[in-house]
Amino acid sequence: MMRHDLLSMDFEELSAFIAALELPKYRAAQMFEWFHRHTASFDANFFKQMNNLPKSLIRTLEETCITSYCTTTEIKSSASSETKKYLFALSDGVLIESVQMNYSFGDSVCISTQAGCKMGCSFCASGAGGFIRNLTAGEMLAQVHTVRKNILGKLSGIVLMGCGEPLDNFEQTIKFLKIIADPKSLGISMRSITLSTCGLVPEIRKLADMCLKINLAISLHAPNDRLRKAIMPIANVYSIRELMDVCRYYTERTARRITFEYALIAGTNDQPSHAHELIKLLSGMLCHVNLIPINSIAEEDTIKRSDLQHFAKILNKNHIPTTIRRTIGADINAACGQLRARPWGSGATRNA
């Protein structure tokens, strides 16, 4: 018998489920509030914790439903205490990582949308072990809720930049966004959510047509097709021209600024000529560039950091708004490009 995944249901789906059980409508509101506002543990005892429901209904849920388990296996804290990395085990034993980041304005959580990744970018650890499976919306939510229990202050933002390509898991990612933003759930503003993609052109167009108010970040990392193909296999599918066309469509449809992420790799994409190509590529677009200090991974130990300040100076001087991403969590392999889907004791990661 197929079990219902309750945490992956939006409020309308949960209401329909309750109606099918011939239960009062208010039960849906009780359950939805419990899922998203309480600090329950997302484990095999989840249903037993629901003390706002009658025992007979809890038995029915245990027999017919599942919730998206997200058991904390281990937590590592950075030396600066700005970052915590979580190793989670899902209900089938698959491992994923999430990161809690502390800022002066509140804490953000970086979640995974897939276990592993298909994209194979040369500088990223997430796809080094291959693709395992997509996560459900409930498994994405469980990461947020589990980390939220450990946040003393305000949850200020959510970043979809962990393992996986969010737009390669389009339906579940969109469902996650809608549930987390629902006022009956956490009510997180879409403007406080950032989704990062390596550039799946059809999905960016679909996202544009939905006119969500999220922050869209495009992993660009090169100003031309030749260079981008060398470090990002997705560039063999979609050209930079196709990507720029859909990005302009996105800004026109949503009136939202796009962030272009550019990880500087010494001797590869960091020359002044690359900066000037990038200026020509992005001129006139509603965007800004976020330069990323590259982080070493075990599979590519020849990758070295470059001079971000000089590159940023060229872009800013030529009217391309540019910022440099603050590096946090590298000492626990929790920085950009370092997340994985494997046990920490495997020896597969090393500090940048």
Amino acid 241: pLDDT? 97
Amino acid 284: pLDDT? 95
Flag whether pLDDT at 338 surpasses 70: no
Pairing of strands 114-116, 287-293: unpaired
Instruction: Confirm whether 121 is a catalytic residue.
Output: no
User: Annotated catalytic residue: which of 97, 139, 165, 261?
Assistant: 97
Amino acid 52: pLDDT? 84
- DSSP bridge pairs for 228: none
User: Annotated catalytic residue: which of 163, 198, 247, 336?
Assistant: 336
> Is 83:336 a contact under the CB 8 Å cutoff?
no
Question: What confidence tier does 124 reach under pLDDT thresholds 50, 70, 90?
Answer: confident
Going by C-alpha positions, the residue among 207, 134, 179 that lies closest to residue 37 is 179
Amino acid 77: pLDDT? 86
Amino acid 8: pLDDT? 94
Instruction: Confirm whether 97 is a catalytic residue.
Output: yes
- Helix (H, G, I), strand (E, B), or coil: what is residue 255? coil
Query: Which one is predicted more confidently, 259 or 73?
Result: 259
What's the whole-number mean pLDDT along residues 278-285? 97
Mean pLDDT taken over the chain: 87
132-185 per-position pLDDT tens digit: 999 999 999 999 998 988 886 678 999 999 889 999 999 999 999 999 999 999
What's the whole-number mean pLDDT along residues 234-261? 97
pTM, 2 dp: 0.90
171-215 per-position pLDDT tens digit: 999 999 999 999 999 999 999 999 999 999 999 999 999 999 999
- Kindly state the tokens that stand for 43: 């484990």
Question: What confidence tier does 301 reach under pLDDT thresholds 50, 70, 90?
Answer: low
- Kindly state the tokens that stand for 31: 């359950």
What's the whole-number mean pLDDT along residues 318-345? 68
> Is 337:265 a contact under the CB 8 Å cutoff?
no
> Is 333:350 a contact under the CB 8 Å cutoff?
yes
> Is 109:97 a contact under the CB 8 Å cutoff?
no
Amino acid 218: pLDDT? 97
> Is 282:218 a contact under the CB 8 Å cutoff?
no
Flag whether pLDDT at 349 surpasses 50: no
Amino acid 154: pLDDT? 78
